[in-house]
Amino acid sequence: MATSKINPTIENSWKKALKNEFDATYFLEIKKFLTEKKQYIIYPPGNEIFNAYNLTPLNKVKVVIIGQDPYHGPSQAHGLCFSVRKGTRQPPSLINIFKEQVTDLGINYPTHGDLTPWATQGVLLLNATLTVTQHEANSHQNVGWQKFTDATIRTVSEQCKGVVFLLWGGFAKRKTKLIDTSKQHVLTSGHPSPLSANRGYWFGNKHFSQTNNILQKQDKQPINWQVE
């Protein structure tokens, strides 16, 4: 992967809001790291690293879902947390997300796992780490990406109002410190992974209906969670 692949080709509102991050030393170190890894397969592809940002401009953010790490298998990651490309087998956590939606909202279980329709409605699907080496989970977690994504969360908190943050699992819950809870809404639960969900920490949280209720009370358009 060439360094140019992660130059900030990113939607303009984010590019402006995060300019100081792109100019920071740590971001140059991220580019250097990825350049030095060019002999490896890295996910997602360079043009999709900022997919969450490009699909959900800053002024359109209604909901934020925080994941930890991109999927590290072939044809999975495409820059949206928990989401996989059409035609790719749905991972266990995503299956549990969909199961909760079916019981919470009474919608149909999706035939694929591409969450792009959520992103285009204002759901920022943000992984804390934006890249990963193939077959090596969490391999880029200490590269510097979390400084960038923490800045993203703070930016949403500072510049937007009435956003619903869905923090699933201990890792995501720790991001609460970045959020101004006096003007934002935070819903927490266990992680949708089988380990957590099967212990009773996920199913029944009704986060999807709760989110829409919060949005409607602000006269905002609710999210159509049905993935067609």
Of the listed 69, 104, 180, 219, which one is catalytic?
69
Catalytic site includes residue 69: yes
List, as one string, the DSSP characters of the chain: --GGGGS----HHHHHHTHHHHTSHHHHHHHHHHHHTTTS-EES-GGGTTHHHHHS-GGG--EEEEESS---STTT-SSSTT---TTSPPPHHHHHHHHHHHHHH-PPPPSS---HHHHTTTEEEEESS--EETTBTTTTTTSSHHHHHHHHHHHHHHH-SSPEEEEEHHHHHGGGGGS-TTTSEEEEE--SSHHHHTTTSSTT--HHHHHHHHHHHTTPPPP-----
* Active site residue ranges: 69
